[in-house]
Amino acid sequence: MTCGLKNLEKRRTKGDLIEAYRIMTEKEAISAHKFFEVRMVSRTRCQHGNKLGLYKKQTGTRRNRFFSVRVVNPWNKLDEKTVAENTVEKFKKKLSEFGY
Residue 18 lies in a domain: yes
Residue 2 lies in a domain: no
Contact at 8 Å (CB) between 95 and 82?
Answer: yes
Phi and psi for 69 in degrees, rounded to 5? -100, -45
Output the pTM of the full model.
Answer: 0.78
- What is the residue-level pLDDT of the chain in tens, covering all 100 positions? 566 667 888 999 999 999 999 999 999 988 888 888 877 665 544 455 677 778 776 656 566 678 888 898 999 999 989 999 999 999 999 999 888 8
DSSP 2: B
Overall domain count for the chain: 1
Domain carrying residue 41? 9-95
Gap between the Cα atoms of 5 and 32, Å rounded:
31
